[in-house]
Amino acid sequence: MNFKLKDIGPQLMTVIAVVLVFGFFTYNAQVNMENRGIDFGYGFLSQESSFDVQFSLIEYDGSHSYFRAYLVGLLNTILVSVIGIFFATILGVVVGIARLSPNYLINKFAAFYVEFFRNIPLLLQIFFWYFAALRALPLPQDAEAIFGVTFLTIKGLYVPAFIWQNFNIFFYSIVAAIIAIIIIRIQAKRLQETQGKQTPVLFISIGLILILPLLSFLIGGVRLSFEIPVLKQLATTSFIYEGGVSLPPELIALALSLSLYTATFIAECVRAGIQGVGKGQKEAAASIGLTPNQVLKLVVMPQALRIIIPPTTNQYLNLTKNSSLAAAIAYPDLVLVFAGTALMQTGKAIEIVSITMFTYLSLSISISILMNWYNKKIAIQEK
Amino acid sequence: MSKINFLKPDKSNLYTFLYLGTFLFFISVLDVLLNSFFSLNITGFLPEFLSFLLPLILGFIGLYFIRIELSGIKQLDLLNKHINTNNFNAILSLLIIFIILKSIPPILSWFFVDASFAGDSKDVCSGSGACWTYIKVWMRRFMYGMYPNGEQWRINLSFIALALLGSVGYFATNKFKKYLTLYYVVIYPFIAFLFIFFFISGGPIFFDFSYGIIAAILSIIVGFFIPSKFKFYYFLVVPFALYILLKYFLFFEEYIELGKLDGLNWVETGAWGGLSLTFIISFFCLIFCFPIGMAFALGRRSGFPLIRYISIGFIEFWRGVPLITVLFMSAVMFPMFLPADFFIDKLVRCIIAISLFEAAYVAEVIRGGLQALPRGQYEAAKSLGMGYWRMHIFVILPQALKLVIPGIANTFLALVKDTPLIFVVGLLEIVGMLNLAKTNPEWLGFAMEGYVFAAIIFWIICYAMSKYSYNLEQKYKTDR
């Protein structure tokens, strides 16, 4: 009896404490909402939102519902995260490898980059790019064309729009190329394992992904034309570019600072991963006659990736969460559109903050579940 | 003298290649140097494209000539090993040298040569360089926020006193060294609370909060002398009793209107700001998030399933959401969860929110350390008859914390870098003050100077912290 009490006692007390705290909060929330005449519910999501968002990927204006506004914010968050992750990965891998370079200058340059950008708050960097650096860009009428078609101005980046004909055929050709590459890779691996033959997978893959879309142009009737942005005068001193795709300066500043900041962390992950592969592994691989490329591909990279991928995914998650700083420079992301404007309009603090948090939470938890699964899969089976 | 093959530098014609290569290399560097510092283009007679690429080509040929293995000249071998291992590295090295040479003059001229330092109005800032006058004029606001000018000595005095009290550890003789932990864990935070919540605030707003702190700390101090048999019940009852005692019986509002007693004016927290607020928030969150994080790390590894699941839920919840939504929650949602007449100050809400948020990260870091300890340590401690708490305090935690010093330092760095986010609830620390100053109609257009200034300050703080943590790591590194 005594033994059991020792087991149950602390647990019971913790649970009671948690229940008490939550009960206290819920009770107060009920009383407060009754006093203020607010009712709890998610019905407002289908109501007309009647506010505008300046940048959205899907069609949206004030006559759409709050749920649609939520979607606009979510898509904008995803957009800036994907752009940021793309550039942060490239930059991070390059800098991470550069930090291991035997070249003293490159090594120190990369180290300087990492130490510099890592130790400055992200919010400060966003402000710097948005309020100081991008404000120094020329006005639309003074902007010089980059490659003749792209304009980088104080009002944003204007790039030509792609106008496709028969886009679906082009898309299918790319999908076909990717499927073919996967099949070839599997075949090549089998060949390698059973007969020890090496297939030049990389060249075949590059060839496939170039040739199949090219064929779609030649045979499938896919046509691509560009719509180049053209300067248009609105008033005597007000100019704007029409046509093409415009990226607002908020998006540019945010994506730029997110990638520069996160790349430093990814670089450290990459460096740690490559350094984590024992020297003996490389020497052993070289001693059985593998070429330096083969050593990298067959021995170092598979082991390094095992160390690199989990923390890098963590950094991707951090980047996605950090993209919520968009609210500071009025980039219409989830936090600004939904937890900002929509909350102001409806006053439904509990519902909206909980939806926003739940969105981020489900994103991170699903990714961390995926990561745990991956970690278990690739873990080295030790005896 | 053997035949010279210019495509294959070799040791037999060492000095020919050395002189030729060095000459070409220096010509290329000189060209860029003159170009960037004196805007002289000594290759101006060539077509523009060629004139642009010439330094790179000359430098490349020069480096190619001096790439002689085992030349026997120490400096040359070092140079080759470090920046000139192959063609690709040579080009990269040249590019980096050129970029550095090209970027030094504009940076120097912006920072120093063309910058204006004197005066105290906008008129002196007409040059193309930075306007440090702006920083000079706004310095007090950037440091102290809206804190009244006449009262700022209180902040200075508190910080100096706390810094002096904090450095006691360096001067302690061996006789007192054993009390240092007690001092830093219990007494020093207590003094810091007194300074910041009574001295800097000077008002009644924090009393409620500080009663809790005083009660907790007093009960911990007394707790050391309580026999372990009753310790559990002691901590269950005494802190709360003490809190109620303090709140309702000992300190009547009339007694503790410090503002009147000491002649200090009450400065509400909305007026706090600038760099001092960054320090205050970082300091308190740092103090709070560590024990909370430790508790949840232990909870996550606890043998009781319910406690474990609650800890997992807590950690994963805070780690899954961005800090900005947490601050949103503390600003708009949290007041709804409290009784209508119960008011918690904005700054305190902020500190609680950031502490809970960072505690989840600290918990994961400490869990990593706990997991890294070999099971033998637990078993050895148990075999000596130690209970759960004794085992953790004397055997497990000292080793685990040693292991995770870098991780904890990273979390604290993240905390310092996260403080600017408090703009969400309307508190303005240094970055927030910069944004405010930027919109002042008299001082428009100096955003760049402000951000560079703040970046330098943050960089120094963060870099110093990371170096300090590295030193700590080296100091406590034990071979295992």
DSSP-assigned letters across all residues of B135-158: HHHHHHHHHHTTS-GGGHHHHHHH
Q: Please, which residues have CB within 8 angstroms of residue B380's CB and are 6 or more apart in sequence?
A: B395
CB of B40 within 8 Å of a chain A CB? The answer is: no
Cβ separation B324–A324 shorter than 8 A: yes
Closest chain A residue by Cα to residue B232: A10
B317: closest chain A residue by CA: A361
CA distance A114 to A94: 12
Phi-psi map region of A347: left, alpha, beta (phi>0 left; psi -120 to 50 alpha): left
* Whole-number percent of chain A with pLDDT over 70: 96
Q: How far is A198 from chain B (nearest CA, A)?
A: 27
Please give the Cα distance from B87 to B64 (Å, whole number). 7
CB pair distance less than 8 Å for B451 and A127 = yes
Residues in chain B: 480
How far B165 CA lies from chain A's nearest CA (Å)?
27
Contact flag A101-B332 (C-beta cutoff 8 Å) = no
B residues 297-336 closer than 8 Å to A (CB):
304-307, 310, 316-317, 319-325, 328-329, 332-333, 336
Residue B52 lies inside a defined structural domain of this protein: yes
**Please, what's the largest Cα pairwise distance for chain B?**
102
Residues B344 and B303 both lie in one domain: yes
B318 → chain A, closest CA residue: A361
Q: Mind telling me how many Å the CA of A211 is from chain B's nearest CA?
A: 30
Under 8 Å between Cβ of B21 and B62: yes
Partner A contacted by B433 (CB < 8 A): no
B462 touches chain A (CB under 8 A): yes
Same domain, B329 and B424: yes
Q: Are A339 and A352 in contact (CB under 8 A)?
A: yes
User: Where are any strands of DSSP class E within B228-315?
Assistant: 273
* B370 shares a domain with B412: yes
pLDDT for the residue numbered B208: 60
Flag whether B187 is in a domain: no
Which of these, A244, A248, A266, lies nearest to A87 by C-alpha position? A266
Residue B343 contacts A, CB cutoff 8 Å: no
> How many angstroms separate the Cα of B85 from the Cα of each of B16, B22, B76, B82, B336?
20, 16, 12, 7, 66
Alpha-carbon gap: A162 to the closest alpha carbon of chain B (Å): 32
Best of B91, B328, B425, B463 to disrupt the A interface by mutation (most A CBs within 10 Å)?
B328
Q: What's the rounded Cα separation, in Å, for the pair B457 and B430?
A: 10
Q: Could you tell me how far CA A370 lies from the centroid of its own chain?
A: 16
Q: Report the Cα–Cα distance between both ends of chain B, in Å, rounded.
A: 60
Kindly state the average pLDDT of the residues A248-260.
91
Question: How far does the CA of residue A152 sit from the closest CA of chain B (Å)?
Answer: 20
CA distance A375 to chain B (A): 15
SS (H, E, C) A145-181: EECCCEEEECCEEEECEEEEECHHHHHHHHHHHHHHH
- Provide the CA A92 distance to its chain's centre, in angstroms: 14
Q: Measured between CA atoms, how close is A164 to chain B, in angstroms?
A: 37
CB contact under 8 A, B85 and A102: yes
Domain membership of residue B439 (yes or no) is yes
Taking the CA of residue A57 and the nearest CA in chain B, the distance in Å comes to 23
pLDDT at residue number A1 = 45
Q: What letter does residue A48 receive in the DSSP assignment?
A: B
pTM, 2 dp: 0.85
- Measured over the CA atoms of residue A249, residue A252, residue A258 and residue A260, the dihedral's sign is negative
The token duo for B136 is 């000079």
Taking Cα atoms as reference points, which of B362, B391, B394 lies closest to residue B379?
A: B391
Closest by CA position to B424, among listed B411, B435, B439:
B435
Instruction: Show residues of chain B in contact with A343, CB under 8 Å.
Output: 332
- B253 part of a folded domain: no
In the block, residue with structure tokens 């290649």: B17
Residues of B with Cβ-Cβ distance to A350 under 8 angstroms: 333, 336
Residue B210: inside a domain, yes or no?
Answer: no
For residue A246, give the 3-state DSSP assignment: strand
Residue B288's Cβ-side half-sphere holds a number of Cα atoms within 13 Å equal to 21
Strand A230-233 versus strand A161-165 pairing type? unpaired
Q: Does the pLDDT value for residue A375 go beyond 80?
A: no
B290 and B417 assigned to the same domain: yes
List chain A domain ranges.
2-40, 66-110+248-378
Q: CA B144, CA B139: separation in Å to the nearest integer?
A: 8
Structure tokens at B115: 């910058």
> What's the mean pLDDT in A275-285?
87
CA distance A303 to A315: 20
Closest CA to B400 of B332, B251, B300: B300
**Is the minimum CB–CB distance between B434 and chain A shorter than 8 Å?**
yes
Phi, psi values for residue A246, rounded to 5°:
-115, 135
Are A131 and B97 an interchain contact pair (Cβ–Cβ within 8 Å)?
no
CB contact under 8 A, B304 and A116: no
What are the DSSP E strand ranges found in A60-133? none
| Chain B residues with CB-CB distance to A7 below 8 A | 304
Distances (CA, A) of B382 to A383, B308, B325, B375: 27, 21, 43, 11
Q: What are the residues facing A145 on neighbouring strands?
A: A151
pLDDT of residue B259: 43
Of A132-136, A201-205, B203-207, B476-480, the poorest mean pLDDT is in B203-207
Is residue B219 domain-resident?
Answer: no
CA–CA separation, B214 and B196 (whole Å): 13
Give B-chain residues touching A116 at CB under 8 angstroms. 459
CATH number of the CATH domain containing B416? 1.10.3720.10
Does B92 contact A106 at a Cβ distance shorter than 8 Å?
Answer: yes
**Residue span of the structural domain in which B52 resides:** 11-113
Which two tokens mark B251?
Answer: 């300190």
**CB burial readout B420-443, b (16+ within 10 A) else e:** bbbbbbebbbbbbbbbbbbeeeeb
- For residue B419, which residues of chain A lie inside 8 Å, CB to CB? 121
pLDDT at B472: 83
Confidence category of residue A382, pLDDT binned at 50, 70, 90: low
Q: CA of B430: which chain A residue's CA is closest?
A: A124
The domain A66-110+248-378 having CATH identifier 2.120.10.30: the answer here is no
**What does the block give as tokens for B139?**
């310095």
CA distance A123 to A130: 10
Q: Which residues contact B359 (CB under 8 A, 6 or more apart)?
A: B288, B289, B290, B292, B293, B296, B318
B282: Cβ contacts below 8 Å, ≥ 6 apart: B412, B415, B416, B419
- Tell me if A339 and B325 make a contact (CB, 8 A cut-off): yes
Task: Supply the pLDDT for residue A254.
Answer: 92
- The alpha carbon of residue B131 is apart from the nearest alpha carbon of chain A, in Å, by 14
Q: Residue B325: which of A32, A350, A357 has the nearest Cβ?
A: A357
Q: What is the DSSP letter of B339?
A: -
Region A143-156: mean pLDDT is 75
Per-residue pLDDT band for A383 (boundaries 50, 70, 90) equals: very low
Model confidence at A87, pLDDT cuts 50, 70, 90, reads: very high
pLDDT score of A261 = 94
Q: Which residue of chain B is at minimal alpha-carbon distance from A128?
A: B451
Q: Which of B324, B420, B462 sits opposite A335 (nearest CB)?
A: B324
A356, B325: Cβ pair inside 8 Å?
A: yes
Angstrom distance (rounded) from CA A326 to CA A336: 7
Report how many domains make up chain B: 2
Closest by Cβ to B458, choosing from A33, A104, A119: A119
Q: How far is B214 from B186, CA to CA, in rounded Å?
A: 10
Does a structural domain hold residue B155? no
A32, B340: Cβ pair inside 8 Å? Answer: yes
Cα separations in angstroms, B214 against A120, A353, B209, B301, B370: 35, 34, 9, 30, 31
Contacts of B295 in chain A (CB under 8 A): none
A243: region left, alpha or beta (phi > 0 left; psi from -120 to 50 alpha)? left
Query: How much of chain B is in helix, strand and coil states, percent to nearest 5?
Result: 75, 0, 20
The CA distance from A311 to B246, in Å, is: 48
Render pLDDT for A163-200 as a digit per residue (tens, 0 to 9).
777 777 888 888 888 898 899 888 888 888 888 777 77
Q: What residues have CB less than 8 Å from B7, skipping those under 6 apart?
A: none
The verdict on a CB contact (< 8 Å) between A128 and B305 is: no
**pLDDT in tens for each of the 480 residues of chain B?**
567 777 777 777 778 888 888 888 888 888 888 888 887 777 777 777 777 888 888 888 888 888 887 777 888 888 888 888 888 888 888 889 989 988 888 888 888 888 887 777 777 777 777 888 888 888 888 888 888 887 788 888 888 888 888 887 777 777 777 777 777 777 787 778 777 777 777 655 555 666 777 777 777 777 777 777 777 777 777 777 887 777 666 655 555 554 444 456 777 777 888 899 999 899 888 888 888 899 899 988 888 888 888 898 888 899 889 998 899 888 888 888 887 777 777 888 888 899 999 999 999 999 888 888 888 888 898 899 888 888 888 888 888 888 888 888 888 999 999 899 988 888 888 888 888 888 888 888 788 888 999 999 999 999 998 888 888 888 877 655
Report d(CA A202, CA A210) in Å as an integer: 12
**Mean pLDDT to the nearest integer, A221-240:** 74
Q: What integer pLDDT is reported at residue A264 of this predicted model? A: 93
Residues of chain A contacting B440 with CB distance shorter than 8 Å: none
Contacts A31 to B, Cβ<8 Å: 339-340
What integer pLDDT is reported at residue B263 of this predicted model?
Answer: 52
Across the interface, whether the CB atoms of A33 and B336 are under 8 A apart is answered yes
Of A14, A32, A339, which has the smallest distance from its Cβ to B328's Cβ? A339
Q: Can you tell me the mean pLDDT for A220-230?
A: 74
Beta-bridge partner residues of A240: A232
Q: How far is A151 from chain B (nearest CA, A)?
A: 23
Q: Helix (H, G, I), strand (E, B), or coil: what is residue B131? A: strand
The residue in chain A having the minimum alpha-carbon distance to the alpha carbon of residue B448 is A132
| A327: chain B residues, CB-CB within 8 Å | 324, 424
What residue in B sits closest to A353 (Cα-Cα)? Answer: B329
- Sign (positive or negative) of CA dihedral B300, B302, B308, B310: negative
Q: What whole-number distance in Å separates Cα of residue A322 and Cα of residue A364? A: 12
User: In chain A, which residues have their Cβ closer than 8 Å to the Cβ of B329?
Assistant: 353, 357
* B18 found inside a domain: yes
Minimal C-alpha gap between A119 and chain B (Å): 5
Q: What are the two backbone dihedrals, phi and then psi, of residue B429, each rounded to the nearest 5 degrees?
A: -90, -160
